[in-house]
Structure 1
C-alpha cells in the first residue's frame, strides 16, 4: 500500500506541476506577444482556462489528503470522543458517496458532451469534462488512504511540501 501511495503522490504532483508550468508559459508568452507585437495567441486563453479546470480537479486530492479544505470542526471539538468519532464516520460515508457521485456523473457528462467542440481549438469538450471523473477518482483514492486516521484521531497525512508552517520556518 505504501508503494501505491508513494507513486500516487509522485504522479499527482508531477501532473500538477506540469499543468501549472504549461499554464504559466502559455499566459506569459501570450502577454509578451500581445505587448511586443500587438498580436496574441488565439487559443491561449481557452487552453489556460481548461488547464485551470484540470488543475482544480487533479489538485483536490492532495489538498484533501493534507487537510487543506475548509472544514467546520467546532461541533466535534465540543463533543466527547465517541460522539466526535461517530460524526467523523458520518462525514467519511458522505464524502465517499460524494466522490463516487462525482465520478459517476462526470462520466455521464463526458459522454454527453463528446460531440461538442471547444470554440477556438475545436477539441471535444469531453476532454475538459474528463477532469471531473479523473479528479473524483483521485479524491477517492487519497481519501481511502487517509480515512482511517481521520475517523479515529482526526489526523491527516503530513508532508513538508504541503505544510505551510514547516516551509515558513525554513
Structure 2
C-alpha cells in the first residue's frame, strides 16, 4: 500500500529535522576548524617575526589541513541553504511541473556525480594510508578522509533537498532577489 500524503509529510519533516541537526553540528565543527586555522596561523606569524629560531615546523601543514576539512564540511552547509553556485538560466525558463521535473533530474545527476566522487575519495584514502603528512606524524589518509566524509554529507543534503522539494509544500524557493 502506498503511503498517504500525511505519512509523506511526516517522513519529509523527519528528514528535514535530521538535516537541520546535521547542519547545526557542521556549522560548529567548521567554525572550530576555522578558529583553529586562524590561531595556528597567527601564532606562526608572531613566532616567525618575533622569534625566528622558534617557528612551528608543522603550522603550515596544519593550517592547510584544517582549511581542507573546513571546506569539505562547509560544502553541505551551502547545499542545505541552496546557496551553491548554479547555472540556472535554462531551469528558470520553466515553471510548474516542468520546473520541478528538471530540478529533480538535476538532483539525480548531481547525486550520481557525487557518488562517483565518493568512490574516488574512498580510493584516495586507501592509497594514502601508508603515507605520512608532511612535518606531522600521522597518516595522510586523515587528510584525504575529508573528501569522502564531505562528499557523503553532500549526498545526504542533496537527497534531503530533493525530497523536500518533491514532497513538501513548504520547500524553500529562493528567487534571484534573495541571493543578490
The TM-score, its normalising length taken from structure 2, stands at 0.79
Structure number with greater Rg is 2
Q: State the distance in 2 between where 1:85 and 1:52 align.
A: 36
Structure 1 alignment gaps of length 5 or more: 166-170
Partner of 2:32: 18
Q: Relative to structure 1, is the Cα distance of residues 28 and 157 closer, same or farther in structure 2, using a 3 angstrom cutoff?
A: farther
Q: Does 1:77 align with 2:86?
A: no
Q: Does 1:129 align with 2:144?
A: yes
Q: Relative to structure 1, is the Cα distance of residues 89 and 106 closer, same or farther in structure 2, using a 3 angstrom cutoff?
A: same
Alpha-carbon RMSD across the aligned residues, in angstroms, is: 2.3
Q: State the distance in 2 between where 1:157 and 1:137 align.
A: 24
Is the CA contact 1:146–1:156 (under 8 Å) kept in the aligned structure 2? no
Structure 2 alignment gaps of length 5 or more: 1-13
* Equivalences, count: 160
Residue of structure 1 aligned with 2:105, choices 90, 104, 110: 90
Secondary structure at 1:74 match in 2: coil
The TM-score, its normalising length taken from structure 1, stands at 0.83
